[in-house]
Structures are given as structure tokens and as C-alpha cells.
Structure 1
Amino acid sequence: MLAYALEKEVGFSKKRARSLASYFANIEDFLNVEEQRIKNIKSVSGQTTFRLTDDEIARISAFQISGGLSPQLTVAENYLAIISRVFTKTQLDMVRKLSLADLNPNPFLIRALNLDTTEKVVRLNVYMAATRSIVTSMGFFVEKLLLTTSDNLEKPNKRESGGWDLVKTTSEGERIWLQIKSGSNNMDKDQIEYWAKKIQEKANEGERGYIGFTYGKRTNNTVTIGLLKQVLPEWEMKTLIGRELWDFLSEDPDYSSQVFTILRESAQKILDQHSISEEIEECTKRITQEFVQKYGDGTQGISNYMEAIF
């Protein structure tokens, strides 16, 4: 956990982050270490084994007092907070770095959707670009969130994965296989039929397999829920939907509530009292000005852009 924080939030390389983290027994040890002691980390024999630059020391000191690590939280909770902040900051940086060149507005969409002002053109394309990035990152982010739920949960190795996303090993040594989907409306009939066979294969091997949905409820009136009832035998016993999934993996009925609390607090550390939507609006204003400076304003500006690219 500390190595991940040093890499992602303090800016160390993965190798140096791991090396530095290995010198600390726990979070308190790291938070309480004084600058003088960290300048020249020594081995048992007294030899300097790890040298830090003044800039690295300054970054460590800033991180120590930032509140990024809390001795009141468990290692898992601190790790959850870190990956949440990293995700939020990645999306914030993406929005703030967007430029007109990144958007490349599609002329066919401009005409087909009657985008008749520069602001409308830019706003739609900023939201499209931001959404693509967030959706792409979200899958990896949620997988990391799931992996924090239990020390007994891991990604299966490639040789035996067979398409399964996660495997949980119980205290009795039983392996439970999980195929993870986002919400409870993300599977079609062919996918359900495929995973029904995979679940049966695991049952034949004396193991369990589930389809897990990270959010939703069994009572949701979605196409996927309807198909599960029709296609997956004993579907209630072979699916984990929403809170059921998080409770099953963590074996803690309060875990999902803790996740949302940590997510909110982590987002506030990065965004303060703002939201990513407000950042997208600021980005829209900035790129609209860029568009006007390059192509002009109003319908003439749009026409100038169309002529420039088509």
C-alpha cells in the first residue's frame, strides 16, 4: 500500500517506491519519521543504502502532512482511499489538459445534430471525450475496488482464468470464480448462455461460479434481469447483484457503505467542494475561446471549421 502511494501520489518510480516502503514497518512509522532520519537511510551495519534528493524529501514531507494516509484507517482502507484519489485526479487532469486538437469535432455530427453555435459544438465534444476516458478507466478502477474487499481475492492467472475475472479462496480452500459485470443491464442472451455453461463447468469440477454485478438490485426491471430468469437455471443462486457482491467478497455487511464514504472523502480531497461536471464546464469555456480564436464565432465560425477539415 505504501509503495503504491509513494509511486502514484509522491512521484517515485515503482522500483524506488518499493525500496523506500520496505524500510517502514507500518503507516505510523512512515508518518512519524523525521526528515533527518530519512535523508540517509542506513543498513544494520550503518552504511547508507538509500539516498533521497532534496526534492524527494520535500515531496515526502508534504505527503506526510497532507492527510493522504491515516493511522485511524486499516491498510485496506488506506489503499482504497489512495486508488480512489488516483482515479479522480487522473480524470481531473484529463479534463484540464483537453484542447481543441484533442476533440477534432465530427462535421457530420455538427450538421446531423444541428449544433449551430460554437459553444454547442465544443460542449458536446468535451462531454464525449471526457465520458470516453472515464468509462475506459472505470472498469480498471472498479476491479481495484473489488480487489480491496478481501485478502483472499485475486485475479486468476492466465493459464487457468478461462475468462473469469476474479477468484476467491475460502478459509477451507474452496475456490469461487466470478465473472464481473458493471450494472444489472450489461449482458445479452448470448453472454448469459455462455456463462451459464462456464458456471456449470465449475460445478462439475466441484467449485462454484457466479456472475457478479457491481451495482443494481434483483428487483430492477431490466432486460438483463429478465434474460437471467429465462436463460440461467437457478439464476438467484448463481448471481450476486449490487450490495450482495460486495458483502459476499468482503464478508462485511457494512463494507459497501464504507466504500462510498471513502470514495466521497477521497474525491473531496482532489476536487474540494467542486465536481467533475463543473470542471467539464470550465473546460468547455476554455476550448470554446480556443475555437473562436482559430475559426471565428457563431455560424460563420462553424462554417470556417467545416471548410478547414472537409
Structure 2
Amino acid sequence: MKNDGIKKTLLDEYEREFISNIISSVKGISVRNAIYLSHTYNTIESFLNVNDIELKNIKSESNRRIIGDSKLCAINEAKKEIIETQNILKESNIRNFDIRHIWMLYLTKDFVEKQLSNLESKTLENLDINPHLSFLLNLNKDDIIKFFVIQTISRSIVTSWGTYVEKFLRYSGGETGKDLDNLFGLEAKKKMKGSNVDIFKNVNNILYCMQVKSGPNTMNVEMISGLNRAMKIIEATDPRNEMKDKNIKTIVSLLGMTYGKRERISGQIKNNLNQFENKTKIGRELWDFIGEEENYYLQVLNVMRLASEKFLKVNFMNRVDQKVKEISTEWDNKYQNKPFEDVIKDNFI
């Protein structure tokens, strides 16, 4: 699995991190031991081919067995999951897939499962109903349940997506390495405040430091001012003194937006972000820049669609509608024939 655009060393790192992530998800195996194992079996092929006896005989740095029988079963299940992921990609129309696509499929599956689990956990008891909006918008019982179920779930999805989309970008072509975390020093980080770097990207020995927004037009003037200040600090850093990679010539700061069109970005951002045109990557520009391929953004969308078809198996909004009906039944059982307005007044304020 190889791509000519992305450095092979980076793809190798993605494989090691993928194996480490899979192993550390097994209950009872520490992150430290997972990293240790991922350096012992540092490719997906070597990890899939290691047999049970060899795994059970592996010892930690403190000379203790890492994997017992129960953990071995979980690791074998993880192996099956990897094989399933590879087979899905092989059967798809995605050509020349590599570890980036495996990461994308894995992350999509994880994201979808978490959102479904979150939806399933919603009940009348943990639904926050705003009585003022209920009266203000003249909602009836069915309206109010649907409104607040959708509001609660959508808020959770959007928040969770912000974290996941950074992982999608990182494993599409972003840099890894602990030295990057300490690039700017403590004093500089204090001055940067909330405008830290989300994604690093090395292109032709220029290190691009990107803050990423999951969508367009999510920044107010104060946030933009902070980003301008952070960009200035970032670009004042001398990579020759701070970086282990002495080939880095210069550092460039960017703002990335994972979707949207350049022409639709608000005047507030365009007029207040210093050098807006040169300092931004928006929508497909960002994905293609990170992936180092033209139309890479389409590969991302195709893998996401593929994963949702294989793992979601239901229309998400249909499942939301089912949940609304379930909670409506809960309401009827709990409050029976009590007038709707009385229920709101007595129980939600």
C-alpha cells in the first residue's frame, strides 16, 4: 500500500500508530505496551501474521507477560476488524488504497458507532427541555420532543466531529512526532493562548502549522485577532534551533477550514485575518493540500460514504424518528392525560 505523493516514512508512521491504536483499545493493555508492540510488529501485515503463541510470549520492558488469554481473544477480534476493513476497500472502487484510507474507514466506523450509541442512550429523563422555547415557539408535545432530541443529538455530533476531523486530516498527510508538540516553547504557547496548532504539514522542507476549523464562518473578531497574534509568533520561530529535522527551512502558519467555498467566507474573517488569501486553505483546497493529491477530497467523501453504508446500515434520521417515538411513549406512560403545559411547568422549570 503506497502513494507516490506522501512520504513513505510518514505512511509507515501511520501504520505503527494504527496498530498501536487498535491494540490500546483492548481492555487491560496500556498505551505504553501498545506502543511497544506496535514497534515490534510495525506493519499491518506483520501484525496480522503474528501467531497466538508468539503473542502470549511477549514480555514488557519489566519482563512481565503483556497478553493473557482474554486479551488474546480481543486482539484476534481486532485483527478480524482490520481484515474486514481491508476487504471493504478491496471490493470498493477506490484504487491504490493505502493506510490513510484504512484510517479513514476505521475513524468513520468509530464515529458512527459512537453517535448511534449516544442516540440510543437518550431517554425522557436525560432530555433537557427548555420550557421558555417550548412556550415561545408554541410547540406541542410531539414537536417539543422532536425539537429537543434533534437539538441534543446534533450538538453532540458537531462537537464530536470537530475532534474526529482533525484525525482524518492528520492521517491524510499530517506530520507526527513528539518534537512537534514542543516546537514553540512554553512562553510562546502562553502568548498563543487558544490558537495552538492542530495539524503540521511538511512540504519541500517548509513546515506548515495549521489551526483547523471544522466549518467556515465559525470565528468572531476576537478569535481572529488571537489567531493573527499566534501566526506571528509561529512564523517568528527559528526551526534551525527548535526542530530535530534540520532540513526544515522555514515555518508558515495557515488557517484551514474543512468545508466551504472561498467566496462564501464572511467579510468578518476576510477583512480581519492578516493576508487572508495566502493564509487559508478552504474546503477541497485543504484536503488536497494535506493529501498531496488533486481531488483527494473526493477520496475522503467516498470512503466516508462507503463506511456509512457498511457500518451504519440504517438512515440516521430514521433512527432519530424512532427515538422520538420511543420518548413520546415514555411521556405518555409517565404523565398520562396530564395537560401538556402543566407537565412543562411542573417538571422543567
| TM-score after normalising by structure 1 | 0.81
Maintained 8 Å contact 1:6/1:12: no
- Return the alpha-carbon distance in structure 2 between the equivalents of residues 23 and 129 of structure 1: 43
- Return the alpha-carbon distance in structure 1 between the equivalents of residues 274 and 66 of structure 2: 59
Tell me the residue number matched to 1:185.
Answer: 217
Tell me the residue number matched to 2:311.
Answer: 270
Cα distance, 1:91 vs. partner? 0.8
User: In structure 2, do the counterparts of structure 1 residues 240 and 153 end up closer, same or farther at CA, with 3 Å as the change threshold?
Assistant: farther
Maintained 8 Å contact 1:150/1:250: yes
Maintained 8 Å contact 1:156/1:166: no
- Return the alpha-carbon distance in structure 2 between the equivalents of residues 139 and 93 of structure 1: 18
After TM superposition, which residue ranges in structure 1, 4 or more long, deviate above 6 angstroms?
none
Tell me the residue number matched to 2:330.
Answer: 290
| TM-score after normalising by structure 2 | 0.73
Tell me the residue number matched to 1:307.
Answer: 346
- Return the alpha-carbon distance in structure 2 between the equivalents of residues 178 and 37 of structure 1: 45
Structure 1 unaligned runs (5+)?
A: none
CA displacement 1:240-272 (0-9 Å, x = unmatched): 111111222222224222211222222233312
- Return the alpha-carbon distance in structure 2 between the equivalents of residues 20 and 115 of structure 1: 56
Tell me the residue number matched to 1:165.
Answer: 197
Cα distance, 1:84 vs. partner? 1.9
The AA in structure 2 aligned to 1:263 is M
The AA in structure 2 aligned to 1:88 is V
Cα distance, 1:90 vs. partner? 0.9
User: In structure 2, do the counterparts of structure 1 residues 104 and 212 end up closer, same or farther at CA, with 3 Å as the change threshold?
Assistant: closer
- Return the alpha-carbon distance in structure 1 between the equivalents of residues 75 and 202 of structure 2: 38
User: In structure 2, do the counterparts of structure 1 residues 19 and 286 end up closer, same or farther at CA, with 3 Å as the change threshold?
Assistant: farther
- Return the alpha-carbon distance in structure 2 between the equivalents of residues 200 and 51 of structure 1: 48
Tell me the residue number matched to 2:261.
Answer: 217
- Return the alpha-carbon distance in structure 2 between the equivalents of residues 64 and 233 of structure 1: 48
User: In structure 2, do the counterparts of structure 1 residues 170 and 51 end up closer, same or farther at CA, with 3 Å as the change threshold?
Assistant: closer
CA displacement 1:173-213 (0-9 Å, x = unmatched): 43322222232222233433443344345455563222211
Which of 127, 143, 148 aligns to 2:150? It is 127
Maintained 8 Å contact 2:174/2:199: no
The AA in structure 2 aligned to 1:285 is K
User: In structure 2, do the counterparts of structure 1 residues 64 and 131 end up closer, same or farther at CA, with 3 Å as the change threshold?
Assistant: same
CA displacement 1:119-154 (0-9 Å, x = unmatched): 222111111111121122111111111211225257
Instruction: Judge which range, 237-246 or 78-87, deviates more.
Output: 78-87
Which of 62, 77, 80 aligns to 1:65? It is 80
Tell me the residue number matched to 1:27.
Answer: 44
Secondary structure of residue in 1 paired with 2:218: coil
The AA in structure 2 aligned to 1:211 is L
Identical counterparts, % of pairs? 24
- Return the alpha-carbon distance in structure 2 between the equivalents of residues 248 and 59 of structure 1: 37
Question: Are residues 1:149 and 2:172 paired?
Answer: yes
The AA in structure 2 aligned to 1:243 is R
Secondary structure of residue in 1 paired with 2:200: strand
User: In structure 2, do the counterparts of structure 1 residues 177 and 231 end up closer, same or farther at CA, with 3 Å as the change threshold?
Assistant: same
Number of equivalenced pairs: 298
> What is the RMSD of the two structures over their aligned residues, measured on CA atoms?
3.1
User: In structure 2, do the counterparts of structure 1 residues 144 and 80 end up closer, same or farther at CA, with 3 Å as the change threshold?
Assistant: same
Cα distance, 1:33 vs. partner? 4.5
Question: Are residues 1:95 and 2:111 paired?
Answer: no
The AA in structure 2 aligned to 1:218 is R
Which of 241, 255, 263 aligns to 2:296? It is 255
Tell me the residue number matched to 2:8.
Answer: none
The AA in structure 2 aligned to 1:142 is V
- Return the alpha-carbon distance in structure 1 between the equivalents of residues 170 and 301 of structure 2: 15
CA displacement 1:39-84 (0-9 Å, x = unmatched): 73356xxx9934423x444444444334444286533322222222
Maintained 8 Å contact 1:96/1:283: yes
Maintained 8 Å contact 1:31/1:64: yes
The AA in structure 2 aligned to 1:41 is N
- Return the alpha-carbon distance in structure 1 between the equivalents of residues 343 and 136 of structure 2: 17
Structure 2 unaligned runs (5+)?
A: 1-17, 91-96, 238-249
User: In structure 2, do the counterparts of structure 1 residues 32 and 275 end up closer, same or farther at CA, with 3 Å as the change threshold?
Assistant: farther
CA displacement 1:18-53 (0-9 Å, x = unmatched): 45545534222333445x53673356xxx9934423
Cα distance, 1:308 vs. partner? 3.7
Aligned runs of 1:6-21 on 2, under 5 Å? 6-8=23-25, 11=27, 13-15=29-31, 17-18=34-35, 21=38
Secondary structure of residue in 2 paired with 1:148: helix
- Return the alpha-carbon distance in structure 2 between the equivalents of residues 228 and 307 of structure 1: 45
